[in-house]
Amino acid sequence: MSTAAASEAGTWKLGDLEVNRIGYGAMRLTGNGMMGNSDGTPIDRDAAVRLLHSAFEQGVDHVDTASFYFSPLRSANELINRALASWNGDVVVVTKVGPGRDPSGEWLTMARPDQLRGQVEENLRQLGRDHLDVVNLRRNGPGTASIAEHFGALAELREAGLIRHLGISNVRPEHLAEARAIAPVVCVQNSYGLDWRRADESGMVDLCREQGVAFVPYFAIAGRRREAPAVRERDARVHTVARAHGATPAQVRLAWTLHRGPHVLAIPGTTSPGHLAQNIAAGALRLTEEELALLDRQV
């Protein structure tokens, strides 16, 4: 497959902000591990800016980040700030609040509703902005506990002008209903991929489509391996489809998620310029009904 602009996958609106469906996830800029708990070497700052500029040049116009994406040497927000300071185009920045880490990197308990303003302001400072485009309330852990008080606190910050649009992350359908009763929800960000389809089992993917809400999978390529480094593809179905298109297995996995509906966005992360171009090109990959049926079979 040749490279293609991010616009090849089409667009979706996050509220009034229209973005290309292929975006970029900034977590890996701090290292290879989950949310900065790195087992790899963080990218050089200048290289990170060049990588982000390359993404923007190829049509990526939204990035996913968080103030808790940091390692001892790198902060994803700081790198994004640097890149945007020397970029003339419009880029939507989507961040998240709820969990937190102390300066040593240790995880803190889920923020109380009255602590969310501090987290929002921290993102504002790090990103160098006077308002945040989209803020996701990231629910911490499993279960069905109410998010109303936390989401209500963010809705107040939206009314105050610190936040433009709101989303939710790591949630169930009942949380979406609860949040939408308080304020508009523009996106749901959940773990989802070919090998990890709980969002199908719960009906969340279809529910988001019906309600005009973007569904944004994370770990769409890694699946059950989550933040683990890439390994050789073991799924014969993926190899079969990849060979038919001259594509990589990772591109097939991304394309499969995008085929779930026009409301599904992608935020793959990488520090490799080559993998970045491949991820963006996955938006131009059109799978046949037979290929989708093959990939959809449970193994």
**Helix 273-281 crosses helix 249-258 at what angle (to 10 degrees)?**
40
Bridging pattern class, strands 17-20 and 11-14: antiparallel
- Give the number of other Cβ atoms within 10 Å of residue 84's Cβ: 21
Known catalytic membership, residue 69? yes
pLDDT given at position 43: 83
pLDDT given at position 219: 82
Answer yes or no: are the C-beta atoms of 164 and 133 closer than 8 Å: yes
Task: Output DSSP code: residue 44.
Answer: P
CA dihedral 35, 38, 39, 42 (to 10 degrees): 120
Nearest CA among 130, 30, 118 for reference residue 79: 30
Half-sphere exposure (CA, 13 Å, Cβ side) for 69? 27
pLDDT given at position 217: 96
pLDDT given at position 64: 98
Query: d(Cα 196, Cα 173) in Å, to the nearest integer?
Result: 17
Answer yes or no: are the C-beta atoms of 37 and 72 closer than 8 Å: no
**CATH superfamily of the 6-296 domain:** NADP-dependent oxidoreductase domain (3.20.20.100)
- Give the number of other Cβ atoms within 10 Å of residue 252's Cβ: 27
Nearest CA among 58, 20, 22 for reference residue 267: 22
Residues 6 or more apart from 134 whose CB is under 8 A from it? 14, 15, 17, 92, 93, 94, 95, 163, 164, 165, 166, 167, 186, 187
Q: Look up the pTM and report it.
A: 0.92
- Give the number of other Cβ atoms within 10 Å of residue 26's Cβ: 25
Residues of the chain with pLDDT under 50: 1-3, 33-39, 226, 228
SS3 228: coil
Answer yes or no: are the C-beta atoms of 191 and 219 closer than 8 Å: yes
Answer yes or no: are the C-beta atoms of 248 and 278 closer than 8 Å: yes
Bridging pattern class, strands 187-191 and 163-169: parallel
Query: d(Cα 262, Cα 14) in Å, to the nearest integer?
Result: 13
Q: Which amino acid, 110?
A: M
- Which residue reads 């103030």 in tokens? 67
The single residue of 24, 69, 192, 218 carrying the catalytic annotation is 69
Helix (H) and strand (E) counts in the chain: 11, 11
Domain ranges of the chain: 6-296
pLDDT given at position 281: 96
Q: Which tens digit of pLDDT belongs to each residue from 188-237? A: 999 999 988 888 888 999 999 999 999 999 988 865 554 545 567 778 99
SS3 92: strand
